[in-house]
Structure 1
Amino acid sequence: MPKRRLASALLAVALAAAPLLARPAAAHQLWLEREGDSARLYFGEPIENQRERSGGLLDRIPNPKVFAADPAAALPVQRREDHFAISLPRGTGDVRMIEDGLAPFGRPGTEKVKPVMLAREGRAETRQVLDLELVPVAAGGNAFTLMLHGKPLPRAEVTLVAPPRWERRLHTDAEGRVTFETPWAGRYVAEAVHVDNTPGGSGDGAYAKVRYVSTLSFTVDKGIPWTER
């Protein structure tokens, strides 16, 4: 076996041997996938290859705002059977999504939490747009800074799901940086969660905290092949 292929295979074995931590069933996320000038927004669990459907949990996502460069210029979103479909203008760079229309949740008598779900597809841009976002240190690279309201977020957990349904939990360093290993060809989805103790809203919509769930999705062209079975 050539040395390069042997090194890649050994790296894959080492990564696969890392602890695989189970995720709670309720830990759904929104993530974007892109192919050319079209994008799809999914709701579910990448690690399980699970995508919720219309008539079920997908209907709980009321009004995702998908945009390219400007959050104020939202793109048309079409609800499909198991995703939201978006047509992208030619030349679009990274694509982002904000879903902040979900109602606060919490048990009676406890402080309510406002969920905000965020997503980004692509790693070409090195700017932050979303409130919580994994931002590439260099375009197309594997090093990222987790940014919260314009500042790096240190010591935060980031979960990476690789093409073969392999999962690893990492932490940002003191500067808010984290680096991913991407030995397989295919799509990677990273997730970061942060709870902000900032109250807001009024009446039935009042909340004590905001829970941000932010995903980053990108593809790797060269690497160990992987085919979904």
Structure 2
Amino acid sequence: MNFRNLLRAGCLALAVCSTGAAADALWLAPAGTTLRLHAGVPDAPRTPDALEAVQASRAGEPLTVASGALAASPAASVDTRLSARRLGPDGEPVIYLARFGRNETEARNALELVPTEAGGNRFVLIWQGRVVPASKVLVSTSAGWRRTLLPATDGSVTLPTPFPALYVLEIAARASGPAAAPGDDPRYANARYVATLSFEAGR
């Protein structure tokens, strides 16, 4: 992975601002006793388009995914993660990384927003195990409330949760280099990552 390209000033912001990622993101939300994968925004969710390589896990153990539903309880004290991919219109792979819950303070996905304390409202962005500036983080909720979070001097972002809702945080980045895509697929010199963190607050 060409890590310098990812860290270059404006790279993450360009991905967030120029791709319309809010309509392109995938995120997890409770659906009764399970979790379900959605696209779009929480106040107007839609079924995701066709995806490849869909995998879900909790505490490192694989979970079954069937028709967008995960065999996982939303009330667990550990977080749930899902990854998937598709080719974008430009032929570059788009890697989707979704996480439900803010209990764990360590990242498992390649690109992930992580709370600095369990259940907290302050988050850092982890890329391949290293903290990088969050640049801009898009926030949307099931109540239709939207915000753009800008980082503090230490690169973290803080999210107020003023009312009960499902909150979805989103960030996108474009990676360049011979190992841009997962698995170091030599066919792709670039890949776009769209990562979300969703959780319920005040419910």
| Alignment of 1:74 onto 2:62 | yes
CA 1:174 to 1:25, structure 2 compared with 1: closer, same or farther past 3 Å? closer
Alpha-carbon distance, 1:36 to partner: 6.8
Cα-to-partner distance string for 1:120-175 (whole Å, 9 max, x where unaligned):
00001111101111101011010011111111121521001133212111223343
User: Which residue identity does 1:28 align to in structure 2?
Assistant: D
Over aligned residue pairs, what C-alpha RMSD do you find? 2.6
Matches within 5 A, 1:46-195: 46=41, 49-52=44-47, 58-70=48-60, 73-79=61-67, 84-88=68-72, 91=76, 93-100=78-85, 102-103=86-87, 105-106=89-90, 112-195=91-174
SS of the equivalent of 1:117 reads strand
Q: 2:176 aligns with which of 194, 197, 200?
A: 197
Distance in 2 between residues matched to 1:218 and 1:195, nearest whole Å: 25
Higher relative contact order (CA 8 A, sep 6+): 2
Aligned: 1:219 with 2:200: yes
Report the Cα distance in structure 1 between the residues aligned to 2:142 and 2:192, rounded to whole angstroms. Answer: 27
Segments of 4+ in structure 1 off by > 4 A?
89-92
Q: CA deviation at 1:219?
A: 0.6
Q: Percent identity at matched positions?
A: 33
Structure 2, gaps ≥5 residues long? 1-16, 180-184
Structure 2 letter corresponding to 1:86: L
TM-score (norm 2): 0.78
Distance in 2 separating the partners of 1:88 and 1:62: 20
Please tell me the residue identity of whatever aligns with 1:96: R
- Equivalenced residue count is 181
- Give the TM-score normalised by structure 1: 0.70
Q: Secondary structure at the match of 2:195?
A: strand
Structure with the greater alpha carbon radius of gyration: 1
**Residue identity matched to 1:149:** Q
Task: State the Cα deviation string for residues 188-229 of structure 1 (Å, max 9, x = none).
Answer: 001011111123434xxx22212110000001116xxxxxxx
- 1:192 touches 1:213 (CA, 8 Å); kept in 2? yes
Q: How many Å separate the matches in 1 of 2:144 and 2:63? A: 30
Does the aligned pair in 1 maintain the 2:122–2:159 contact within 8 Å? yes
- The code of the aligned residue for 2:193 comes to Y
Unaligned runs of 5+ in 1: 1-20, 53-57, 107-111, 223-229
